[in-house]
Amino acid sequence: SYIKYGADCCKKLNGIFAFAIYNTSDESLFLCRDRIGVKPLFYYEYNGGLLFASEIKALLASKIVKPQIDEQGLNEIFFLGPARTPSFGVFKGVFELNPGECAMYRHSKLRRKKYYTVEAKEHTDNEVTTIEKTRYLLTDAIQRQLVSDVPLCFFLSGGLDSSIIVKTASMYNKEHKLGKINTYSVEYRDNEKYFQPTPDYEFISMMSKNADTKHREIILDNTLVCDALYESVQARDLPGYVDVDSSLLLFCKEIKQNYTVALSGECADELFGGYPWYHNHEILFEDCFPWSKSQDIRRSILKDGVLKNGEEYVRQRYLDTINLAPKLKSDTDLDRRMREMFYLNFYWFMQCLLERKDRCSMFSGLEVRVPFCDYRLVEYAYNMPWELKAWGNREKGIVRKAFEDILPEEICWRKKSPYPKTHNPIYFNECVKRVRKILKKRSILNELLDRKGIEDIIENPDKITNPWYGQLMKAPQILAYIIELDYWFDKYNVEIV
């Protein structure tokens, strides 16, 4: 494709990829990353050369890249993490191609170019056509990603998104006489004793029966979830989404024993308005990242005078993003804000989840495909009017309507349930024990941390009203983040410059 089309080859592709092509005739290097940013591509420029890799650890292994962070890197970790600014690799001098970007390196110069971005267009389809097209685009994306040289399996949470993928795949297999599909779900040991408002397994069982799948539930031990925090740092090369990462890493390790490819329902919420901040207008029009409205809890774990401009740093990253969102003159105030919210979710929240899914799965040797990230579906969703996207005043309403005839009604119209996390006090106590041990040692990290603020989180975990990052990071996860920070500073020999 590159030989035929040159740098325009990336516009011909639909898939998840990051690749590099060296042209011996003119000594140029072409780099390219997929439109949505599912696969990573990091790089580092130095005097006379360019390093590139799919993981930061590969750059560090060269010894040319030093494990150094400056004030900007610290702001990323303490005020934005586990998210990070698009293109910024946290370590000093490390960058990443953005989704939909390519680059040419020649004569010691790197030129980056955006080859793809969503554009603001009028949505001309009526309601019936919009429903039909949403179904066609997603069905086609799923079926395209069923092509594999090895057997596939599927993540099944009992929610809308994974259920659509599972049912569509099951119908495809039945039509082509390919046999039953295999599905997997994850849960934590004894979680039902402490927190279970709507048990996922009832819906998982219902969907598995409906789609006639061979299903297996993976039960995770709470102490092992805490132990796996360290490996999940190695997977990301950065502090991450704590137990949301480590549980996925353990889950993928179990699946890898039988499969090397899986399909998962990530990113429907970001594209089709699945989160509360799309629907609550008080939150929607707040001029900030909706999943991290206040930096108070982040500030509370830092000593006085550390990273004085952290709040301003976050504010600027927010403004930079919403100012990029393409709009139409005909957009209403709601339309304009929804486009901004789409961009915030696409370049921040969604990228954080995609990074989590890719690193934790690939660390275990499992490739996870995400059909909702088909760029055609992304484009269609961006320009869909809110009253259609939220059909019936429901989160992801248009997706529900498009697939209501193939899903059990209880699943199709089920209220969104977040990725399961542990509520077992065993996990919280494990985190407390490890954090207190960290606070006693001499380290670079402890020169930044405020012990009193951290002890307050330990002693008063229920006082946290504004979580660290979204609804999944509260007191146990903040402590887990400190555990990951400590391990990251030590394991990677991080130096502050």
According to the model, what pLDDT value does residue 479 have?
A: 97
According to the model, what pLDDT value does residue 436 have?
A: 97
Contact status, residue 208 vs residue 183, Cβ threshold 8 Å:
yes
According to the model, what pLDDT value does residue 121 have?
A: 97
Q: What average pLDDT does this structure show over 446-450?
A: 96
C-alpha span between 261 and 368 (Å, rounded): 6
Closest CA to 484 of 201, 64, 78: 78
Model confidence pLDDT, tens digit, residues 473-495: 999 999 999 999 999 999 999 99
Please report the DSSP string for 26-81 in residue order.
TTEEEEEE-SS--S--EEEEETTEEEEESSHHHHHHTSSS--EE-HHHHHIIIIIT
According to the model, what pLDDT value does residue 417 have?
A: 79
Q: What average pLDDT does this structure show over 255-264?
A: 97
Strands 495-496 and 101-106: unpaired
CA–CA–CA angle 397, 192, 230 (5° rounding): 90
Tokens found for residue 108: 């010691």
pLDDT band for position 465 (50/70/90)? confident
Q: Which helix (H) or strand (E) holds 361?
A: helix 350-362
Amino acid at 85: T
Q: Which helix (H) or strand (E) holds 262?
A: strand 261-263
Contact status, residue 302 vs residue 78, Cβ threshold 8 Å:
yes
Q: Is the predicted pLDDT of residue 407 greater than 70, yes or no?
A: yes
C-alpha span between 414 and 162 (Å, rounded): 13
Q: Is the predicted pLDDT of residue 361 greater than 70, yes or no?
A: yes
Q: What average pLDDT does this structure show over 256-283?
A: 95
Q: What average pLDDT does this structure show over 439-453?
A: 95
Is the preceding omega at residue 82 within 30 degrees of 0, hence cis?
Answer: yes
C-alpha span between 12 and 18 (Å, rounded): 14
pLDDT band for position 112 (50/70/90)? very high
C-alpha span between 85 and 49 (Å, rounded): 24
- Give the least confident one: 238-247, 251-260, 456-465: 456-465
- Name which residue leads in pLDDT, 194 or 11: 11
pLDDT band for position 191 (50/70/90)? confident
Model confidence pLDDT, tens digit, residues 71-100: 999 999 999 999 999 999 999 999 999 999
Half-sphere exposure of 164 (CA within 13 A, CB side): 30
Q: What average pLDDT does this structure show over 42-66?
A: 97
**DSSP 8-state symbol, 418:** P
Which residue shows structure tokens 């949301």?
Answer: 244
Q: Is the predicted pLDDT of residue 196 greater than 70, yes or no?
A: no
Contact status, residue 262 vs residue 152, Cβ threshold 8 Å:
yes
Model confidence pLDDT, tens digit, residues 285-294: 999 999 999 9
According to the model, what pLDDT value does residue 466 have?
A: 82
Model confidence pLDDT, tens digit, residues 367-399: 999 999 999 999 999 999 999 999 999 999 999
C-alpha span between 96 and 43 (Å, rounded): 6
C-alpha span between 2 and 17 (Å, rounded): 14
Half-sphere exposure of 240 (CA within 13 A, CB side): 30
Q: Where are the beta strands (DSSP E) in 309-441?
A: 367-369
Q: What average pLDDT does this structure show over 220-243?
A: 97
Tokens found for residue 357: 């899914």
C-alpha span between 444 and 446 (Å, rounded): 6
- 3-class DSSP state of 493: coil
Amino acid at 340: E
Q: What average pLDDT does this structure show over 300-319?
A: 97
C-alpha span between 356 and 84 (Å, rounded): 12
C-alpha span between 238 and 227 (Å, rounded): 16
C-alpha span between 169 and 183 (Å, rounded): 11
Please provide residue 20's backbone torsions phi and psi, each rounded to the nearest 5 degrees.
-135, 140
C-alpha span between 91 and 266 (Å, rounded): 27
Model confidence pLDDT, tens digit, residues 10-35: 999 999 999 999 999 999 999 999 99
Using CA atoms of 204, 208, 211, 215 in order, give the dihedral in degrees to the nearest 10.
130
According to the model, what pLDDT value does residue 195 have?
A: 64
The dihedral sign for the CA sequence 290, 294, 300, 302: positive
pTM here is: 0.95
Q: Is the predicted pLDDT of residue 197 greater than 70, yes or no?
A: no
